[in-house]
Structures are given as C-alpha cells and as structure tokens.
C-alpha cells in the first residue's frame, strides 16, 4: 500500500521485510509461522486532485475492510498477526480488526508523527496521517471522514484513553489540539530523553492495557532515527535509537499483552542495503521473545 502516503516505494515494504527473512527468523525463535500472503490493493482509476482532503479514500477503505477481516480472524483463533506495510494507512484495518476480535484493546503507536489529523486539519490530505484519529472516532463526516471511522462495521474502535503515542516529534498544529481534547497519552522524544525508554515504555504498556484485553502495537519505522532507519518516506531527525526500539519491543514481549503488531512505512527505494527492512524484522523478533541471553 502506498495510497495513504501518495508516494511509491513504500508498497514494496512487505517484500523487503520478507526478504529480510522475517518468517525464517521467527521460526528459528520457536514460533509456528504462516504467511497468509498479501492483500490486493486496487489501482486508482485517476490521480487525486492536489486539494483533495482525503486522497484515495475509496481504495484505502477497501483495503482496510479486507485487512480487518483477516486480522479479526487470526486474533479470534488465538494467534498473533504481524502486519507488514506499506504506509501507515493499513493500520486502519489492523486496528479495527483487533477491536472487533477482542473487547477494548489498547494501542501503543510508535511513531515520529501522531497520525491524528482529520480531513480538516491535514495539510496534505494523505490518509496515513489520519488513521489513529479515525480509529478513535475523530473526523469530519461532512467531507468523508465517516468512511474511515466506519471501517469494519463502524467505530469508534478504540477508546482514546487506552491509546499511547511514543516517540512523537513532528505534530501538526491542528492534530495537537485534537490530541489535547481526546485524552490520548503522548510521550514525545523529549519525554524519552528525560525519563528513558525503559520508563516510558513501561508507562505506555500500563496505560494502554488498563482495563484492556491486550495491546495492539503499531510500529512506524520513522519513529526510529533516520541514522538507524533511513528507508522511510517521512524521516524526522532525533528519533529512537536502534537499541531503544529493541528495548521497547522487549518490554512489550515481557508484558505478555501483545495481541498484534504492525510494522509499517518501510520504503526500500530510500533504504540502504535493506537496513530498515532488516530492523523491522528484528523488531518483530524482539516483540515475540528474542533476547540477548
């Protein structure tokens, strides 16, 4: 999927992560792994207008509905889906699918961005920047946001009080106000600098899991500093280090609360020797039990 970001290359992210041997490495770790294949992304019939407030809306909703069905089915069967992207718009499907499978899941959103825009506040109209807001029921129904909010049987799918953003450092002014109103917990890179990744991640797990059946983790690789994850479409300096990202995933695994995991925004065209895709695969291992000792 590239339609949520509007930039080619990120649609090859799943292939790059598979090339990094994610399945083989998870199997070596002792997991039983089944690759369910890729979801077909419809080709748009025409490019959107530059001033379109919701670019490629129909196609994004179509993919989200299909992904939600698959994720719901896997979670209900007692397995843990790992969803490979692709831009962050795919998390509309994975987040709503988890919410349909279990009662009141929490979400930890590792990302340089908040993705809490609506069509009204978004400076670009790119839907990957609106997904977390849509999952929490925020949008402008008169323009078309309702189609995002109503994916997979209708929302809001997630209680904002159980949503935690970790690693944010590039938040638009409009979404900043929405976040303050919503009750979403936001830990910026400043918070990580002050308190450390260990403390912040433990707090995030506690907040997301309070009264919840478990946690959906959505990891945007641009949450990691571009020095360690160069292959992303919207890099922002000053992010998590390679080791901080792994520590966070290790703590998620230790919690025993992981329901599902997104790994998104890997763009092989912008990558160096598949470093970012390899990091995504390694983070999946840390999130599912791999340790140094």
pLDDT of residue 141: 80
Strand residues in the chain grouped as ranges (E): 82-84, 106-110, 163-168, 185-188, 215-220, 258-264
Is 172 marked active-site? Answer: no
pLDDT of residue 32: 98
User: If residue 64 lies in a helix (H) or strand (E), which one and from where to where?
Assistant: helix 57-76
pLDDT of residue 73: 98
pLDDT of residue 235: 97
Choosing from 72, 87, 150, 222, the catalytic residue is: 222
Choosing from 59, 72, 87, 113, the catalytic residue is: 113
Mean pLDDT for the stretch of residues 57-65: 97
| Tens of pLDDT, residues 82-131 | 999 999 999 999 999 999 999 899 999 999 999 999 999 999 999 999 99
| Tens of pLDDT, residues 241-255 | 999 999 999 999 999
Is 115 marked active-site? Answer: yes
| Tens of pLDDT, residues 133-173 | 999 999 988 778 999 999 999 889 999 999 999 999 999 99
Is 52 marked active-site? Answer: no
Local structure of 140: helix, strand or coil: coil
Give the Cα separation of 258 and 59 in Å (integer). 29
Choosing from 59, 72, 87, 220, the catalytic residue is: 220
Q: Confidence class of residue 240 from pLDDT cuts 50, 70 and 90?
A: very high
Q: How far is CA 79 from the centre of its chain?
A: 19
Q: Write a three-state SS string for 192-216.
A: HHHHCHHHHHHHHHHHHHCCCCCEE
Is 157 marked active-site? Answer: no
Choosing from 72, 87, 128, 225, the catalytic residue is: 128
Is 88 marked active-site? Answer: yes
Is 111 marked active-site? Answer: yes
Strand residues in 47-133 grouped as ranges (E): 82-84, 106-110
Give the Cα separation of 167 and 229 in Å (integer). 14
Domains of the chain: 10-287 (3.40.800.10)
Taking the model in full, what pTM does it have? 0.97
pLDDT of residue 248: 98
Mean pLDDT for the stretch of residues 199-218: 97
Choosing from 11, 145, 150, 265, the catalytic residue is: 265
| Tens of pLDDT, residues 2-57 | 999 988 999 999 999 999 999 999 999 999 999 999 999 999 988 888 889 999 99
Is 59 marked active-site? Answer: no
Is 265 marked active-site? Answer: yes
Choosing from 11, 115, 175, 225, the catalytic residue is: 115
**Orientation angle between helical segments 91-101 and 57-76, nearest 10 degrees:** 40
Choosing from 72, 87, 88, 244, the catalytic residue is: 88
Contacts of 49 (CB under 8 A, 6+ apart): none
Question: C-alpha angle with apex 184: 181 to 188, nearest 5 degrees?
Answer: 110
């Amino acid at each position: 999927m590239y339609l949520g970001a509007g930039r080619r290359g990120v649609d090859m992210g799943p292939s790059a992560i598979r090339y990094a041997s994610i399945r083989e490495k998870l199997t070596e770790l002792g997991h039983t792994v089944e690759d369910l294949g890729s979801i077909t992304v419809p080709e748009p019939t025409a490019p959107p207008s530059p001033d379109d407030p919701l670019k490629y809306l129909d196609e994004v909703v179509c993919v989200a509905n299909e992904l939600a069905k698959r994720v719901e089915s896997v979670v209900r069967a007692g397995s843990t889906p790992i969803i490979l992207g692709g831009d962050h718009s795919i998390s509309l499907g994975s987040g709503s699918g988890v919410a349909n499978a279990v009662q009141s899941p929490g979400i930890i959103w590792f990302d340089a961005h908040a993705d809490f825009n609506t069509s009204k506040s978004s400076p670009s109209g790119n839907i990957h920047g609106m997904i977390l807001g849509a999952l929490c029921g925020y949008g402008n129904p008169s323009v078309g946001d309702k189609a995002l909010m109503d994916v997979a049987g209708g929302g809001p799918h997630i209680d904002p009080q159980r949503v935690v953003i970790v690693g944010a450092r590039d938040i638009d002014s409009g979404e900043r106000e929405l976040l303050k109103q919503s009750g979403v917990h936001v830990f910026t890179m400043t918070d990580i600098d002050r308190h450390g990744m260990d403390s912040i991640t433990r707090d995030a797990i506690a907040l997301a899991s309070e009264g919840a059946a478990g946690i959906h983790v959505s990891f945007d690789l641009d949450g990691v500093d571009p020095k360690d994850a160069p292959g992303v479409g919207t890099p922002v300096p000053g992010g998590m280090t390679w080791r901080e990202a792994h520590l966070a995933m290790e703590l998620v695994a230790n919690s025993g609360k992981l329901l599902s995991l997104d790994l998104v925004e890997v763009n092989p065209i912008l990558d160096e020797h598949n470093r970012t895709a390899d990091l995504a695969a390694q983070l999946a291992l840390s999130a599912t039990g791999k340790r140094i000792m």
